[in-house]
Amino acid sequence: MKIGNDIDIGHIHTLEYIKHHAPRVPIPDIHGILQQPNSNRIFFLMSRAPGEPLDSKWEFLGENEKSSIREQLDTIVGYFRFLPAPVTDETQAVLGGGSPRRCKDARREVRVAQGCISNERQFNEFLTSHPHRAQAGSISMIKSYLTDDHKVFLAHGDFHPRNIMVLTRLNDPVADGALPKESLCTTNGTVNQSTTRITITGILDWEMCGWYPEYWEYVKALNTITPGSDLGDWWAYLPQKIGIWPREHAVDLMLSRWHG
């Protein structure tokens, strides 16, 4: 059960669309939504994916395990990334997700576009708007770096390891007793990486999902990764299908600084 104030439940329509058209994506089943009377407090009931969040395991994984995660994510992304957007009554609402379809941008806070966004030029205007920031100086330079010729694909919008559930299992030879028990542990007591395999069991927190420019999945997957942290090499293991967008990532970092 996920509990919080003002949890956005509009994304459920997009989530159900994905589950219907790409059933192999490991998305938890939604069992119900309750709202506390006279309150914004939401209780979001869903099935539990087995295992632990990937961010709690990442620093203990070796290159082979991390590469396996990348390959699994690449397969999962391939299931949903190229799905066309469903028809909506708001024909001008091309980008974004949810019902009604709206664009979102999460930095220090989540901003939601007030109206429909039908192309990347309008999306760029949304990215460079802020009610309490002056539209001059550095933002003019940032605007000049933004382009409007990207393709549009479906994005999860928050591919952070905390939103990826994984299950670590022993490899079959060890599980079957072919290797001695002592070989399972290293000198510091952790599980020997050569005797384990790691499997993605669920992708969580789809609140930011929707149809966005093709670089969006990449820059948002790195949005909250701190250089030098245990997740500092996350960029090297992102799924290949989302592409590599260094220029767009650099501009997005500038946008984050401008938004404050």
Q: What are the CA-CA distances from residue 106 to residues 157, 204, 220, 259 (Å)?
A: 9, 16, 8, 11
**pLDDT value of residue 57:** 95
User: How are beta strands 52-53 and 110-112 bridged, if at all?
Assistant: unpaired
Q: Is residue 79 part of a domain?
A: yes
Q: What are the CA-CA distances from residue 260 to residues 15, 62, 130 (Å)?
A: 30, 36, 10
Domain that holds residue 240: 49-259
CATH number, domain at 228?
A: 3.90.1200
Give phi and psi for 112, each to the nearest 5: -120, 130
**pLDDT value of residue 228:** 78
Distance CA 158, CA 218 (A): 9
Provide the domain count of the chain: 1
- Residue 189 three-state SS: coil
Q: Is residue 30 part of a domain?
A: no
State the Rg of the chain over Cα: 20
Look at residues 136, 157, 149 and name the one whose alpha carbon lies nearest to residue 15.
157
Q: Is residue 19 part of a domain?
A: no
pLDDT in tens, the chain (260 residues): 888 887 778 888 899 999 999 999 999 998 988 888 888 888 889 899 999 999 999 999 999 999 999 999 999 999 999 999 999 889 899 999 998 999 999 998 899 999 999 999 999 999 999 877 766 678 999 999 999 999 999 999 999 999 999 998 877 554 444 445 444 445 454 545 455 789 999 999 999 999 999 999 999 999 888 877 899 999 999 999 999 999 999 999 999 999 87
Q: Please, what sign has the CA dihedral across residues 129, 135, 139, 145?
A: positive
Number of Cβ atoms within 10 Å of the Cβ of 215: 23
Q: Is residue 15 part of a domain?
A: no
Q: Is residue 99 part of a domain?
A: yes
Q: Is residue 184 part of a domain?
A: yes
**pLDDT value of residue 178:** 46
Q: Is residue 62 part of a domain?
A: yes
User: How are beta strands 110-112 and 196-203 bridged, if at all?
Assistant: unpaired
Q: Is residue 145 part of a domain?
A: yes
Distance CA 22, CA 154 (A): 12
